[in-house]
Structure 1
Amino acid sequence: MDQGNTTLPPTTGTNSSQTPPSVSAALLVSAVLLFPTFLVGVVGNGLYLWVLGLKMRRTVTTLWFLSLVSSYLLLTLLIPFFIVSLLMGLHWVFGMAMCKLLNTCISVGMFTSVFLLTLISLDRYILTHHPIWSRNHRTVPRAGKLVVGVWLASFCLSTPYLAFRETQVVDGDRIICINNYTLSRDWNGAEMEDLGRRVHLTIFMVRFLLGFLLPFCTIAGCYVCIGLKMKEKKLAWVGKPFKVMVTAVVSFFLGWLPYHLYHGLKLYKKEVPESVMGALFVIYIFTSCFNACFTPILYLFVGEKFWQVFRTSLLTLVKAAFVDDLGSSAPEYSGRQENTKQEMA
């Protein structure tokens, strides 16, 4: 929902109030896709959060997923604001403060979910490769400090939106919520345009490296190592743990790649056809929101037969998501030693 340093859709001319039909269609399709995604996301993430927070014993793994689902729910609850904006042709009616706040919250939710998925992957790797160390150091208080650190780091990486995000009046009465990377009203000056492009490129590279490339490489690397360990121990390769690993890597990649690809191409918007940007806009909106709304549900249902899902209670499904099929066990700690099975969900 971040539209970069110019509005999307672009107008056909400096003083034109008409939106190109292809872009109008892209906005309408995006809004239509977002509405059911929002409904499913609120219900799914809300129930998941309720079960994790109130119905399950607090462990390191439940703490990871409690925080992860909280970040997904944050992203989901912001969707209606952008549905309204899309239906109005990206006319922003919520004011300057909400323009800054909502986009900052989106960035916080994105970074938090990405960092937590990385932490979960590293946690799985440590459980399988360093069980003795895990037994002595893997505690709920320490995990809690990591979670707080993740949220603080995500907020720090999202502060540029508080500085650069602003509203601008175009076409006489149309208001757009955009990034002004120059912090200047001289939008058309060559010097300011060059400065804005450099700042935009810097922010994009930080967001791409820390919000996608490095986490994806870490997640994929961790699960490859886990898979090799499973093969070494001759454990079930086609069971639920393997499916969960594949789901984690694929959903992360497909969920966030279009987002970063779109914003990368925004740097070269003059060379990219409008139709391509419109199509990519629809894809990135849908995949990023689908990722936030449906990933927790995918973690529950992966490895389950369709008809079994409907015969199993929600609580049983959530608990099953944390059951390890590896045949080995590792302890959870909550300030004191507690024996539970090693989780691979």
Structure 2
Amino acid sequence: MTLLPGYVSTPEVDASHSPEKITSVNLATALFIFVSLLVGTVSNSLFLWVLVVKMKKTVNTLWFSHLIFTYLLHCSSLPVFSVYILLDFHWVFGTMLCKLINSSFSVAMFTTVFLLTIISLDRYLLICHPVWSQHNRTIPRAWRVVAVVWLVSLILSAPYLFFREVREVKGRMKCLNNYAFSSDWDGPEIQELMDRVHLALFVVRFLLAFLLPLLIITGCHCRMGWEMKKKRLVRNSKPFRVLVAAVVSFFICWLPYHLYHSSLTYWESFSFTQQVLQVTMVIGECFNFCFTPILYLFVGEKFQQVFKTSLLSLLKRGFMDIPIIPMNNANEESHQTCSTGSLKVKVAQTNCLPSP
């Protein structure tokens, strides 16, 4: 069973093993989570401040501000995880926090993948249906889409408010799912019912939070690439690469999570595989929520240039709306930029020398 979708509490424990004993693996994991907490809180707070306060309000900044907020939401629960692991998976925070932590984690997961899917669809419409996008891509409508995303995420996460309970298992308090709403967890009929509910929730979570979004996002990017090649369109690579980095990071980091929960459902005999997936899963979750925003600074930039450019300029280039223009217009714009020499960034991109 798991403390969270992604944090495992080993059910087979020795009753003589005190909760206060700290193993080297638990200590290393807790330290990694603590470092992730510091990095994630600082970077996500800074990015959110730039998006909300310093940048012009656009549809793109609205998408990414809510995406960064989901990262920050997850970071706020990391102290509980680290203490829980240091106590060797002994839950001391009570039933209410058990329910809230699990629910907030699920909300952050669903909201993240839904927003990444929406951003990809937005890019697809912007490139493949520019006229429709120009007339319908407005901030009020984007706000309504975001509100629906949060509402659906809350609905899909609601089961954790009902199923989660704190129960004593072999001398330890565990934050577990009680899918049957019964105090008799050991009966064969109750176990069969719990297994069915567990499998149903796993399938829903895997389809809606991984497989279907992956197919939609992949299809959007393939269609965008074909359309841009056919129409000879030019894009600003920085914001496009930020989107690709966010999508790739999410699916690489969350693949171990779904593999681990699949192992709980189908591979119960492979205990070593489950342990490896568990560690990989914790690292992936922390990296996605806490370290992915830092990638936004480096994608599409030369490594040395990152340290020579202001943080605000890097973030503005990464989160602005992606300009898509025909190739001929791009060449004309490049020629004009070379003639005036007014923008150094444009000059560098077109390999022209600025006028004196």
Deviation of the 1:38 alpha carbon:
1.3
1:100-149 deviations in Å (ceiling 9; x for gaps): 00110000011011100000000000000011001111100000011011
Query: What is the aligned-residue RMSD (CA, Å)?
Result: 2.5
Deviation of the 1:270 alpha carbon:
3.2
Indicate how the Cα distance of structure 1 residues 153 and 91 shifts in structure 2: closer, same or farther if over 3 A, else same.
Answer: same
The alignment status of 1:10 with 2:14, answered yes or no, reads: no
Deviation of the 1:179 alpha carbon:
1.0
Deviation of the 1:246 alpha carbon:
4.0
What are the ranges of 5 or more consecutive residues in structure 2 without an aligned counterpart? Answer: 328-356
Does the 8 Å contact 1:182/1:192 carry over to 2? Answer: yes
Please give the residue correspondences for 1:173-322 in structure 2 after superposition, counting only pairs within 5 Å: 174-235=172-233, 239-240=237-238, 243-244=241-242, 246-268=244-266, 270-273=268-271, 275-322=272-319
Partner of 1:117: 116
| Amino acid corresponding to residue 75 of structure 1 in structure 2 | H
| Amino acid corresponding to residue 151 of structure 1 in structure 2 | W
| Amino acid corresponding to residue 155 of structure 1 in structure 2 | L
1:188-241 deviations in Å (ceiling 9; x for gaps): 111000000000000011111001111111111111111112222345699546
What secondary structure does 1:91 align onto? Answer: coil
Does the 8 Å contact 1:4/1:266 carry over to 2? Answer: no
What are the ranges of 5 or more consecutive residues in structure 1 without an aligned counterpart? Answer: 330-345
How far apart, CA to CA, are the structure 2 residues paired with 1:18 and 1:6?
A: 20
Partner of 1:39: 38
1:3-23 deviations in Å (ceiling 9; x for gaps): 56996223246x55379x9x9
Deviating more after overlay: 182-191 vs 117-126: 182-191
Does the 8 Å contact 2:168/2:174 carry over to 1? Answer: yes
Partner of 1:101: 100
Indicate how the Cα distance of structure 1 residues 24 and 325 shifts in structure 2: closer, same or farther if over 3 A, else same.
Answer: farther
Does the 8 Å contact 1:108/1:155 carry over to 2? Answer: yes
Indicate how the Cα distance of structure 1 residues 142 and 4 shifts in structure 2: closer, same or farther if over 3 A, else same.
Answer: closer
What secondary structure does 1:321 align onto? Answer: helix
Please give the residue correspondences for 1:150-165 in structure 2 after superposition, counting only pairs within 5 Å: 150-165=149-164
How far apart, CA to CA, are the structure 2 residues paired with 1:286 and 1:241?
A: 26
Does the 8 Å contact 1:34/1:83 carry over to 2? Answer: yes
Please give the residue correspondences for 1:136-151 in structure 2 after superposition, counting only pairs within 5 Å: 136-151=135-150
Does the 8 Å contact 2:4/2:102 carry over to 1? Answer: no
How far apart, CA to CA, are the structure 1 residues paired with 2:94 and 2:305?
A: 48
Indicate how the Cα distance of structure 1 residues 2 and 206 shifts in structure 2: closer, same or farther if over 3 A, else same.
Answer: farther
Does the 8 Å contact 2:260/2:277 carry over to 1? Answer: yes
| Amino acid corresponding to residue 258 of structure 1 in structure 2 | P
1:230-273 deviations in Å (ceiling 9; x for gaps): 22234569954664454244212202111111111111353222
TM-score (norm 2): 0.84
| Amino acid corresponding to residue 319 of structure 1 in structure 2 | K
Identity of aligned residues (%): 50
How far apart, CA to CA, are the structure 1 residues paired with 2:119 and 2:226?
A: 18
1:269-309 deviations in Å (ceiling 9; x for gaps): 53222x22121111101101211112222233211111111
Indicate how the Cα distance of structure 1 residues 263 and 24 shifts in structure 2: closer, same or farther if over 3 A, else same.
Answer: farther
Indicate how the Cα distance of structure 1 residues 241 and 64 shifts in structure 2: closer, same or farther if over 3 A, else same.
Answer: closer
Does the 8 Å contact 1:26/1:281 carry over to 2? Answer: no
How far apart, CA to CA, are the structure 1 residues paired with 2:59 and 2:3?
A: 33
Partner of 1:336: none
TM-score (norm 1): 0.87
Bigger relative CO (Cα 8 Å, ≥ 6 apart): 1
Aligned length: 324
Does the 8 Å contact 2:165/2:175 carry over to 1? Answer: yes
Deviating more after overlay: 34-43 vs 149-158: 34-43
Runs of at least 4 residues of structure 1 off by over 6 A? none
